Amino acid sequence: MKKIAVLTSGGDAPGMNAAIRAVVRKSIYHRLGIYGIRHGFAGLLNKELRPMELGSVADIIHRGGTILQTARSAEFMTQEGQEKAFAFLRKEDVENIVVIGGNGSFKGAKVLQDAGFNTVGVPATIDNDIPCTDFCIGFNTAINTVTDAINRVRDTATSHERIYVIEVMGRDSGQIALFAGLAGGAESIIVPEAPFDLGKVCSRLMRGVQRGKLHSIILVAEGAASGLHVGEEIERLTQLEVRVTILGHIQRGGTPTAFDRILASRMGSKAVDLLMEGWGGHIVGYHKGEIKAIPYEELFNSEKEFLWNVYDLAGILAI
């Protein structure tokens, strides 16, 4: 009987639990031995492997976070740490591993793959910064959380006739700012992918004020600039009253949307199919409604596409 182990690594994302559930249940359906590794790659070093049963994943499809816990392991990045992990997996007779996480986690998956294990990656990160997949698990939930926050801020912004700068997550990526900014009707969206000019942001704000707009919302991705700095600069340049809200980790929690649960269920299930068919060395990706297998080589040689048409549209609609 083939043994499959599943781990979650890097920053957590809503829908990771739905993905774990799919991996576990699909494995049980195929009568495979299924194990959970706690604390990501660190769990391989600390020998945190435990058998999973149907009941292990009961009542988790709607929960944010990850029941397997997650971590970023510096030790696994060392050769000594990796040897320790290989030895542990060989001793436990685990040859197949599903890695649920982001770009960093897939580098870890490739280390295992190169050492002779079969690994499949399942993209889960609110940043949605993984190439070769339109969506990552957790992103849809995060942009809904941010859109809801924008709605709330908009109420108080209108009452006080203020400008609000809202800083959102996205270490190297403006995807959250872009999509939530479009959904929330932000006046300006500042992302690391596009050059920005605070002078132009301020001119747009002033035009709005002259037209009688009661509030303005500027969305800033943390990877582009600090929200506090942007707020101070806008106040200095316009002499208008500005408040800054940093949404932080609330964007990573919460019950996953139906979209993320469905995506996670389909991706987790496909990961097991790939391992059964001997297709290690791939991630699963979502493109045009289909779940596909993408080889690690293609993943590591691709860049995340930035949707300039969406960015331009957000600018046009915010005139």
| Catalytic residue set | 127
Question: Minimal distance in Å, beta carbon 252 to ligand F6P?
Answer: 5
Question: Minimal distance in Å, beta carbon 219 to ligand F6P?
Answer: 14
The residue (of 126 and 180) whose beta carbon lies closer to ligand F6P is: 126
Q: How many helices (H) and strands (E) does the chain have?
A: 11, 11
The residue (of 126 and 150) whose beta carbon lies closer to ligand F6P is: 126
Q: What residues line the site for ligand F6P (CB under 6 A)?
A: 11, 125-127, 169-171, 222, 252
The residue (of 126 and 137) whose beta carbon lies closer to ligand F6P is: 126
Q: Which residue is nearest to ligand F6P (CB)?
A: 11
Range 119-139 burial, b when 16+ CB lie within 10 A, else e: bbbbbbbbbbbbbbbebbbbb
Write down the residue that tokens 């009253």 correspond to: 241
Question: Minimal distance in Å, beta carbon 142 to ligand F6P?
Answer: 8
Question: Reduced to 3 states, what is the DSSP secondary structure of residue 123?
Answer: strand
Question: Minimal distance in Å, beta carbon 129 to ligand F6P?
Answer: 8
The residue (of 11 and 256) whose beta carbon lies closer to ligand F6P is: 11
Question: Minimal distance in Å, beta carbon 58 to ligand F6P?
Answer: 26
- Give Cα 300 distance to the centre of its chain: 17
Task: Indicate the residue type of 191.
Answer: V
Decide if 58 contacts 49 (C-beta within 8 A). Answer: no
Decide if 100 contacts 19 (C-beta within 8 A). Answer: yes
Report the C-alpha gap between 56 and 43 in whole angstroms. 18
Secondary structure E strands in the chain: 3-8, 33-37, 49-51, 96-101, 118-123, 163-168, 188-190, 216-221, 242-246, 282-287, 290-295
The residue (of 7 and 49) whose beta carbon lies closer to ligand F6P is: 7
